[in-house]
Amino acid sequence: MPLPVVTGAMLTCPMGLAPSVLNVLPTRRTLFESRPVATIMDNIPFVNIPPFGLCTSLANPITAAQTAAALGVLTPGTCTPVLPAPWMPGSPTTLIGNVPALNNSCTCACVYGGVITIVNPGATKEILA
């Protein structure tokens, strides 16, 4: 069963070299297990989704430039998530401020080729709707 995602959830990107932690701003005033609950719109780079260390994707201009300077030897560059769309698919039954809640089965795509996944949702209980 999908679990709700709250601030502090652990995220990974296959192109990144380190995990990251989701930050949910408490603007919606909806808490679960005493932490703000995420929605599919919590996808803003550097606000909700911090970088994943270094990026190994050659679609990332920084990685491509550093790899070219190293004569073709892959040289990871700084991760700068570029997320043009919200998390998908979102909860079909739980809305927070008329926006689908984020659950641990959702993913978010980066334009540099990585697909961000939720490794640990930060919540331990299931929402029964």
The structural domains of the chain, with segments of one domain joined by +, span 5-122
At residue 129 the predicted structure's pLDDT band, cuts being 50, 70 and 90, is low
The mean per-residue pLDDT over the stretch 94-105 comes to 92
Contact 56, 15 (CB under 8 A): yes
Tens digits of residue pLDDT in 76-94: 999 999 999 999 999 988 8
More confident residue, 33 or 98: 98
pLDDT at 127 over 70: no
- Give the DSSP H/E element, type plus range, for residue 35: strand 35-36
C-alpha–C-alpha distance, residues 94 and 91, integer Å: 6
Cβ neighbourhood burial of 59 (10 Å; 0-12, 13-18, 19+)? middle
Q: For 44, which DSSP code? A: -
Q: Which of 76, 73, 101 is nearest to 87 (CA)?
A: 101
Tens digits of residue pLDDT in 56-80: 999 999 999 999 999 999 999 999 9
CA 18 to chain centre: 13
Q: Please state the pTM of the whole predicted model.
A: 0.90
What are 36's two structure tokens?
Answer: 């703000």
Q: Which of 128, 120, 129 is nearest to 5 (CA)?
A: 120
What are 61's two structure tokens?
Answer: 């201009």
